[in-house]
Amino acid sequence: MPHDAVTPDAPRPSWRDGLPPPPPGPAPEAHFAGSQTVRDIAIGMADGLTVPFALAAGLAGVVASNPLIVTAGLAAIAAGGVATGMGAYLAARTDTDHYAAERRREMQETFDWPDRERWEVLAILHRQGLRGDILAGATDAICADRERWVDFMMRFELELSEPEPGRAQRSAIAIGGAYLVGGLIPLSPYVFLSETSPALLVSSVMTAIALTVFGWLKARAMGLPPGRGALHTLGIGGAVAAVAVLVARTVGG
Amino acid sequence: MPHDAVTPDAPRPSWRDGLPPPPPGPAPEAHFAGSQTVRDIAIGMADGLTVPFALAAGLAGVVASNPLIVTAGLAAIAAGGVATGMGAYLAARTDTDHYAAERRREMQETFDWPDRERWEVLAILHRQGLRGDILAGATDAICADRERWVDFMMRFELELSEPEPGRAQRSAIAIGGAYLVGGLIPLSPYVFLSETSPALLVSSVMTAIALTVFGWLKARAMGLPPGRGALHTLGIGGAVAAVAVLVARTVGG
């Protein structure tokens, strides 16, 4: 294209210049990358299954009116889904702001206290086992580029990784969506059955099955033992629901 | 003491051997360290304020019975507080298990594919600007100790930091406790007032004030502009509550 022909990109030195080719190694799939989204869905789904179940079960012992239970349940699902989604969005945004603020401060320190910040790189590399000329040379190389210097400090001194762009939106959708989907499972029997006691029974069975399946899938996705994960999720969900039902019946009875 | 005299500790080489003293620098308090706990309290408090408020407000338009609203509200607070606390505990435990699993795998790879794993250290240091003898020497130094080698890969290749011990318990208490405390604020007017409409009004005002104060404190603790934080939290909390009230009234009306 003409525009490109007028201002061609100068050949830039690649970061791979002088780097030998990689020896054979394990496939990159060996490490699990989607843990953050799985974690978000897990949080949303676990809360969505247990909180509306517990609310409905608690009310079922006090008011024998399924339409009222459905109303309260849907209000709780809507509030919980939007609140957890928004909360996750804000938390991720706060992380991004926090990272940016710390990076600005760290950058400023390389201007205000250059010797000290250079020494901190030296101390970190020293702890990695570097000594003598290698230590001095490596410190010089890292501090030669201020962006790199600051990035190195962010990771090794502050142990902060740069938040991924778009993480806030993805996290909000994963947590909020999982909450809404999870919440409709324990509530659906109160919609389709007219009597409260059978609805509570069906809701308990459906929630227990959903917790077990979901715990199993979550553990598998994280590369952990699925059977233990299923029992874990079922046990925790059951305990949460039992506490909530007890509170509601104590207050309401 | 006699026991010490019999088996004295051999003088071990300190990791500071050969490291020059630090030049003067900024006070360590300049960086904010408690962000994780503040973040946890923020999540729990935001959810605790908005979800029970929205549930109570949604029900207030459908049933004019404060005892019933209090029962549903307490069930929701108990379920939400326990569920978010337990959820945070499990998420932190999952992080710890995930870190340990990835570290074992990375350790195994240094036995199965030592050349490849050495090359990965070389590639990372190359990207940090090291070249030639310095690059080779620094790679040798890091890979000379297998624990250090693996730690280096965890941080720079996988971008994983070792989870703090005790983090799961602290996170559970911070999120769950904040949820319980936050939830009692919007619910209390329905306990102390007998009519539904004035209770809804007082609950709305108290929740709005609590969201504003809490948003202000949270932003201050994170080193962000407090006024913006207050408006932000109030706006989000109000939006969440409005959506939930709308759903409850649509279904129940």
Quick: pLDDT tens for A128-141: 889 999 999 999 99
- Show the tokens assigned to A34: 């989607």
Q: Give the residue ranges of DSSP H helices in chain A.
A: 2-6, 35-60, 66-112, 114-127, 132-143, 146-156, 167-192, 196-221, 226-252
Cβ burial, residue B197 (10 Å; 0-12/13-18/19+): exposed
pLDDT band at B32 (very low <50, low <70, confident <90, very high): low
A4 pLDDT exceeds 50? Answer: no
Q: In chain B, pLDDT over 70 holds for what percent of residues?
A: 89
pTM, entire model = 0.75
The distance of A248 to chain B (nearest Cα, Å) reads: 5
Residue-by-residue DSSP string for B62-81: T---HHHHHHHHHHHHHHHH
The distance of A148 to chain B (nearest Cα, Å) reads: 7
Which residue, A172, A193, A90, A12, is CA-closest to B214?
A90
Calpha distance B15→A84 (Å, rounded): 45
Chain B residues within an 8 Å CB radius of A42: 90-91, 94
Calpha distance A39→B160 (Å, rounded): 15
Q: Quick one: pLDDT at residue A240?
A: 80
pLDDT band at A196 (very low <50, low <70, confident <90, very high): very high
Closest-CA residue of B relative to A147 is B128
Q: How many whole angstroms from its chain centre is CA B229?
A: 18
Q: What sign results for the dihedral spanned by CA atoms A131, A132, A137, A140? A: positive
Calpha distance A186→B236 (Å, rounded): 27
The distance of B5 to chain A (nearest Cα, Å) reads: 31
Cβ burial, residue A6 (10 Å; 0-12/13-18/19+): exposed
* Greatest mean pLDDT range, A226-230, A243-247, B201-205: B201-205
The distance of B222 to chain A (nearest Cα, Å) reads: 7
- Show the tokens assigned to A141: 């190389």
- Show the tokens assigned to B48: 């605790």
Q: Report CA dihedral (B15, B18, B24, B26) to the nearest 10 degrees.
A: -30
Q: Which of A128, A184, A200, A203 to mutate to test the interface with B (most CBs of B within 10 A)?
A: A128
B12 pLDDT exceeds 70? Answer: no
Calpha distance A30→A28 (Å, rounded): 5
pLDDT band at A78 (very low <50, low <70, confident <90, very high): confident
For B133-152, the pLDDT digits (tens) are 999 999 999 999 999 999 99
**In a 3-state reduction of DSSP, which class is residue A158?**
coil
Chain B residues within an 8 Å CB radius of A51: 76, 79-80, 83
Q: Quick one: pLDDT at residue B9?
A: 46
In this structure, are residues A74 and A187 in contact, taking their beta carbons and an 8 Å threshold? yes
Q: Which of B117, B121, B240, B249 to mutate to test the interface with A (most CBs of A within 10 A)?
A: B240
Q: Quick one: pLDDT at residue B149?
A: 93
CA dist A144 → A81, B141, B206 (Å): 48, 21, 55
Q: Quick one: pLDDT at residue A10?
A: 43
Report, as an integer, the average pLDDT of A8-30. 62
- Show the tokens assigned to B124: 């990372």
In chain B, residues 172-191 whose CB comes closer than 8 Å to chain A: none
In this structure, are residues B150 and B106 in contact, taking their beta carbons and an 8 Å threshold? yes
A11 pLDDT exceeds 60? Answer: no
- The owner of tokens 């970190």 is A124
B253 touches A: beta carbon within 8 Å: no
Instruction: Choose the closest CB to A51 out of B76, B91, B112.
Output: B76
CA dist A27 → A30, A31, B237 (Å): 6, 9, 45
Contacts of residue A217, Cβ cutoff 8 Å, sequence gap at least 6: A226
Chain A residues within an 8 Å CB radius of B129: 141-142, 144-145, 148
Calpha distance A184→A48 (Å, rounded): 8
Closest-CA residue of A relative to B237 is A83
The distance of B53 to chain A (nearest Cα, Å) reads: 9
* Crossing angle (nearest 10°) for helices B66-112 and A66-112: 50
Q: Quick one: pLDDT at residue A12?
A: 46
Interface size, chain A vs chain B, as Cβ–Cβ contacts under 8 Å: 310
Q: Do B59 and A75 touch (CB under 8 A)?
A: yes
The more confident residue out of A243 and A176 is A176
A200 pLDDT exceeds 90? Answer: yes
Q: Quick one: pLDDT at residue A54?
A: 85
What letter does residue A195 receive in the DSSP assignment? S
* Crossing angle (nearest 10°) for helices A35-60 and A196-221: 170
B131 touches A: beta carbon within 8 Å: yes
Instruction: Choose the closest CB to B19 out of A74, A83, A123.
Output: A123
Calpha distance A252→A65 (Å, rounded): 14
Calpha distance A47→B199 (Å, rounded): 28
Which residue, B209, B163, B167, is CA-closest to B40?
B167
Closest-CA residue of A relative to B110 is A25
For A21-77, the pLDDT digits (tens) are 888 877 654 455 466 788 788 878 888 998 899 888 888 877 888 988 898 888 889
The distance of B3 to chain A (nearest Cα, Å) reads: 32
Q: Quick one: pLDDT at residue A206?
A: 96
Q: Do B51 and A79 touch (CB under 8 A)?
A: yes
Amino acid of residue A232: H
Residue-by-residue DSSP string for A47-77: HHHHHHHHHHHHHHTT---HHHHHHHHHHHH
Q: Do A83 and B51 touch (CB under 8 A)?
A: yes
Q: Do A55 and B70 touch (CB under 8 A)?
A: no
Amino acid of residue A93: R
A62 touches B: beta carbon within 8 Å: yes
Q: Which of A32, A39, A55, A127 to mutate to test the interface with B (most CBs of B within 10 A)?
A: A55
- The owner of tokens 């029900």 is B59
In this structure, are residues A114 and A78 in contact, taking their beta carbons and an 8 Å threshold? no
- Show the tokens assigned to A234: 């079922």
Calpha distance A231→B126 (Å, rounded): 46
Q: Do B122 and A19 touch (CB under 8 A)?
A: yes
Amino acid of residue B117: E
Chain A residues within an 8 Å CB radius of B113: 23-26
- The owner of tokens 């699993």 is B101
